Amino acid sequence: MSKGKILAGFLAPHPPHLVYGENPEQNEPRSEGGWEHLRWAYERARESIERLKPDVLLVHSPHWVTEQGHNFLGVDHLSGKSVDPIFPNLFRYNFELDVDVELAESCSQEARNLGLTSKIMRNPNFRVDYGTITTLHMIRPQWDIPVVGISANNSPYLLRLDEGLEEMDRLGKATRKAIEDSGRRAVLLASSTLCHYHFHVEPEIPEDMTEERPATYEGYKWDMRMIELMRAGKTPEVFELLPQFIEESFAEVKAGSLTWMYSAMGYPEIPAELHGYGTVIGTGNAVMEWDLSAS
Amino acid sequence: MSIIASFLVPSSPLTYFRSDNPPWQPTAEALQEAGRRIAEMNPDVLLVYSTTWQAVMDQLWQARKLQQGTHVDHNWFELGELSYDFQIDTELAQSCVTAATDSGIKSKPVDYDQFPIDTGTIVAMHFLNPNGKIPVVLASNNLYHDHATVAELGKVASSCATQQNKRAVAITIGELSGSFFRNEINITEDSIFKKSEDDWNRRMLDHLTKGDLKTCEKEMADYNAEARAEYGFKHLQFLLGAMGGSYHQCELLAYGPLYGKGGAVMQFTPE
């Protein structure tokens, strides 16, 4: 069997507003659109996925929070209706997905080999979190590629930040090893927003874009600074600034998705392509791609 | 005032799934006792605030009448499924939405098929409303609300129940100290994660059972810092707000560990 490979990594944020704006048949609420810049960004990312033709999509989601373990979905086929408890008016999505259980089990074992607690979720009635579903829908709405869904252990919140993110680094390394041993061609999805300051009142019409803007100027500036570093391939600087970025912009990358992804990719110092940036209820969201397919 | 009793209960599903585990058994039995007491009181409604129903944009109130289904906890998925079957007092819920908004806490009703009922609510209903006979008003935990706002929610819910001549039991769902065991443990040896957190839990419980709210409030900031109190222990305020800021008596039915976190079952009797 040939060695598996990580073809690409994507920063692939999960505001359910993007699904709502697109009006897919799986989602009950109907909209007049909205957040077009980010949805167009995802269209460009979708073109990359079509070109890359991965065997599997791995997604690390801050909205599957676990206290005991960095855990993996482990049921061949999961389905149900995901209703976002925070935005039920926007996201009531009938989902069906196939899980690459073999790869999930391998990732989990490699994580345990590196000293992490890791479990496999085998309950067929488990309702997949909206973060995972939103990211997967936006990147591949055909739902024709098996997935590995990964929880966000809350280590960065319970422990010191550096301790928590160190676990995400180990998780990334475990993921990489499992992929290489599997022979799979994989794409990684860091399901995460950047600056997470947000408005506390929803507009009367959620998709009214006259109400959409960054929640704070400082948060916006931070997002731009980090995006420019990632676009320039200045990976060491990204990680040097990451703690301050998290502290000063309440960045959702604290949950570990970005660190996991970068670690699995081996912290490449290649320019990331920015497909697009936009705000959702004031939070900063970027769709970015690190193409490793030629390396 | 419509409140005939109030209860603080934990949200963890461990008592639901493994009530026989020795460290969890006293808490499970206390929850069952609380359920018996509530049944005897025969209230018209349960006013519930659940820390595990999290919101960020508005204050949410469950407004769909029939709540029935099963739920797999995101963290404790290996233990099985949680079943629930209860009804919402929709008339009272809508009144709470209006009254809370009028008092400055922007609120919304939630009425959607298969809306995910949270673990804490399901556990509370299992023990405190096992037949689902008592209608419920269910309020979310907006993560940005402070102690004063949560107290106001309790006050609003209680006032609305009074206006509708409904005898109510107020229930708040959430843990005490928040540190927990991150790895697998021998559950028969479960304990509070740190002695210092255990000490702080007992200290605050002692203040409450003695009716010393003043000291409880004075030490709240230290408690939060030293014991990582879940949500800053703001969920207590829902009960205090519902009872008008004070109470006649407080009884500790059980205190114990829940995979390292502190959990208590307490009954408050209003003035």
What whole-number distance in Å separates Cα of residue A22 and Cα of residue A290? 25
CATH of the domain at B88: 3.40.830.10
Question: How many angstroms separate the Cα of B22 from the Cα of each of A20, A228, A292, B6?
Answer: 47, 55, 53, 26
Q: What is the pLDDT of residue A239?
A: 98
Question: pTM (2 decimals)?
Answer: 0.96
Q: Which domain holds residue B164?
A: 3-269
Task: Decide if pLDDT at B112 tops 90.
Answer: yes
Q: What is the pLDDT of residue A295?
A: 78
Angle of helix B119-128 versus helix B25-41 axis, rounded to 10: 60
Q: Is the dihedral of CA A41, A47, A52, A56 positive or negative?
A: positive
Quick one: what percent of chain B has pLDDT higher than 70? 100
Question: How many angstroms separate the Cα of A105 from the Cα of each of A111, A144, A188, B132, B141?
Answer: 10, 21, 17, 40, 35
Q: In which residue ranges of chain A is pLDDT below 50?
A: none
Q: Catalogue all structural domains in chain A, each as residue range(s) with its CATH number.
A: 5-291 (3.40.830.10)
Cβ of B56 under 8 Å from any chain A Cβ? yes
Q: Do B180 and A117 touch (CB under 8 A)?
A: no
Q: Do A85 and B75 touch (CB under 8 A)?
A: no
Interface of B with A in 97-136 (CB under 8 A): 106, 110, 112-116, 118
Chain centroid to CA B223: how far?
A: 19
What whole-number distance in Å separates Cα of residue A50 and Cα of residue A146? 14
Q: Do B115 and A88 touch (CB under 8 A)?
A: yes
Phi-psi region of A118 (alpha: psi -120 to 50; beta: other; left: phi over 0): beta
How close is the nearest chain B Cα to the Cα of A28, in Å? Answer: 11
Q: What is the pLDDT of residue A1?
A: 78
The pLDDT tens digits for B154-169 are 999 999 999 999 999 9
- The ipTM (two decimal places) reads 0.94
Q: What is the pLDDT of residue A201?
A: 86
- For strand A273-280 and strand A283-291, is the pairing parallel, antiparallel, or unpaired? antiparallel
The pLDDT tens digits for B67-98 are 999 999 999 999 999 999 999 999 999 999 99
Show the tokens assigned to A224: 């731009």
Cβ A182 vs Cβ A3: under 8 Å: no
Task: Decide if pLDDT at B1 tops 80.
Answer: no
Q: Do A119 and B75 touch (CB under 8 A)?
A: no
Chain A contact set for B113 (CB, 8 A): 81, 83, 92
**Residue in A125, A127, A153 nearest the CB of B116:** A127
The predicted model gives B197-203 an average pLDDT of 98
Q: What is the pLDDT of residue B244?
A: 96
Q: What is the pLDDT of residue B154?
A: 98
Cβ of B186 under 8 Å from any chain A Cβ? no
Task: Decide if pLDDT at B48 tops 80.
Answer: yes
A278 three-state secondary structure: strand
Q: What is the pLDDT of residue A294?
A: 83
- Structural domains of chain B, count: 1
**Can you list the alpha helix ranges (DSSP code H) found in chain A?**
17-22, 36-52, 101-113, 130-139, 155-158, 161-182, 217-231, 235-249, 257-265
Q: Measure the CA angle with vertex A80, ends A76 and A82; round to 5°.
A: 120
